[in-house]
Structure 1
Amino acid sequence: MNALDFSVILERWPELLRGTMATLGLALAGMALAMIIGVAGVAIRRSGSRIGRAVVVGFVEIIRNTPFLVQIFFIFFALPLAGVRLNPTTTAIIALGLNGGAYAIEIIRGGVESIPRGQTEAGLALGLHQGEIFRMIILRPALRAIYPSLCSQFILLTLTTSICTSISAYELTQVAQRIDGDTFRSFEVYFTVTAIYLAVSWMIMALLGFIGSRAFSYPTR
């Protein structure tokens, strides 16, 4: 049995650090796109358009009932047959955003539906139109209620970035595979990568917790 040797980790640490930053970039971009899709999807479902509701429901069902790996392969390998060619990083961000957005739609919808209908009626009585009511009266308290669930979903999305190595997107797992292939120090490499993913998850959790405490805290006198 070979003795453990973490010197390879120290030698290749700059590469691991760059891979970690790339993973964070993919995760944050995917989260931002997922939130846009989530809010827009809920707004469309509440718009009264049957076609819009059908499109959103169909999108959610397709994404939630297919593996992420199949989704990212479809975007990267199938869309070029229709003339749409994307580089691995762009593909990864879009796939992460679509996947996270489908779950965000359902999470946000649950929060919106928890708001008493009287709030909407009060907004109508004040002369607000549906868009203003949704943005000013419903969305903020709904986001406050479901913020912990969104945070958990975004942590999961961060870990899902590791699958993006399947299309050669530059991120932490791809860097780890390259280092492992060069050094054959699988235990040391993947032990370190596991620790990095844990640290990244805790860091994002702390950041999201800080943002939540600032954005959704109740005002005090």
Structure 2
Amino acid sequence: MNINLDFATIFERWPAFLDGALLTLQLAFIATLLGTVIGVLGAIGRRSHHPIVSRICGIYVESIRNTPLLVQIFLVYFGLASLGLKFSAFAVAAAALTINVGAYTTEIIRAGFDSIPRGQIEAAEGLALSRAQIYWHVVMWPAIEKVYPSLTSQFVLLMLASSVTSQISAEELTAVANYVQSDTYRAFETYILVALVYIVLSLVMRAGFWLLGLVIFPRRRRLGTPL
């Protein structure tokens, strides 16, 4: 069986692939940034002493974690359209990815909060630290530091999962690949190239998060703790 691979035709479309890769990174960046904010607020809400707040956050997390991402994207896309709200495919994709990763980030950060020993908080109270100081320096920041590797892995997975946004015509990397292979009839070569690009993007993101960890967690850098 002869396999005739022709990558020359595919490489001619490199500007389209570059645009798709950049859009993929933009989606990942927006969703990561906003999802982290939602995750922190959601984790605080999940541990709230107010049952209504805690229950609302719990419903949000369980609803998102127990439904497929593609269904969530369709719900946002067609839901907004049914309300007469028209947004670009990019905006809808970013919103759907943010909602999705926010739920997973909530649980990861909540686990970090739960890992802080009660005695550590009591010691901070004994030093007459304010409630805000305790929450920031003793609870939140150490908790995020502990779960930072899990958070970064989740954000890389989010970038890879952004490929499903091609179903609503968001022109990210997979959407570009679908267009190129339908135009060139070189599906095998196209998706080999796209798979390699996704690997590169994943490695770039992991390296970026590693460097960010060295900056924002100097204690880990001094101790040589892997991020």
TM-score, normalised relative to structure 2: 0.91
Aligned residues: 220
Question: 1:194 Cα deviation (Å)?
Answer: 0.3
Q: Which residue of 1 aligns with 2:58?
A: 57
Asked if the contact 2:124–2:134 (Cα under 8 Å) also holds between the matched residues in 1, the reply is yes
Question: 1:44 Cα deviation (Å)?
Answer: 2.0
Q: Which residue of 1 aligns with 2:44?
A: 43
Secondary structure in 1 aligned to 2:4? coil
Q: Which residue of 2 aligns with 1:176?
A: 177
Secondary structure in 2 aligned to 1:107? helix
Q: Which moved more, 1:81-90 or 1:93-102?
A: 81-90
Question: 1:42 Cα deviation (Å)?
Answer: 1.2
Secondary structure in 2 aligned to 1:178? helix
The CA deviation string for residues 164-189 of structure 1, in whole angstroms up to 9 with x for no partner, is 00000110001111111110000111
Asked if the contact 2:44–2:110 (Cα under 8 Å) also holds between the matched residues in 1, the reply is no
The CA deviation string for residues 27-66 of structure 1, in whole angstroms up to 9 with x for no partner, is 1111111101100111223332221111100000000000
Asked if the contact 2:93–2:170 (Cα under 8 Å) also holds between the matched residues in 1, the reply is yes
Are 2:96 and 1:100 equivalent residues in the alignment?
A: no
Asked if the contact 1:108–1:143 (Cα under 8 Å) also holds between the matched residues in 2, the reply is yes
Secondary structure in 2 aligned to 1:4? coil
Q: Which residue of 1 aligns with 2:130?
A: 128
Q: Which moved more, 1:87-96 or 1:1-10?
A: 1-10
Between the aligned partners of 2:165 and 2:105, the Cα distance in structure 1 is 20
RMSD: 1.7
Are 2:166 and 1:165 equivalent residues in the alignment?
A: yes
Q: Which moved more, 1:118-127 or 1:89-98?
A: 118-127
The CA deviation string for residues 64-97 of structure 1, in whole angstroms up to 9 with x for no partner, is 0000000000000123223433321111111111
Q: Which residue of 2 aligns with 1:67?
A: 68
Runs of 4+ in 1 over 6 A off after TM superposition: none
Asked if the contact 1:43–1:134 (Cα under 8 Å) also holds between the matched residues in 2, the reply is no
The CA deviation string for residues 84-129 of structure 1, in whole angstroms up to 9 with x for no partner, is 3332111111111111110111111111100011222233341512
Structural mapping, 1:138-217, within 5 Å: 138-217=139-218
TM-score, normalised relative to structure 1: 0.94
Asked if the contact 1:76–1:85 (Cα under 8 Å) also holds between the matched residues in 2, the reply is no
Identity score, percent: 42
Secondary structure in 2 aligned to 1:209? helix
Between the aligned partners of 1:10 and 1:78, the Cα distance in structure 2 is 38
Structure 1 unpaired stretches of 5+: none
Q: Which residue of 2 aligns with 1:23?
A: 24
Q: Which residue of 1 aligns with 2:77?
A: 76
Equivalent AA in structure 2 for residue 128 of structure 1: S
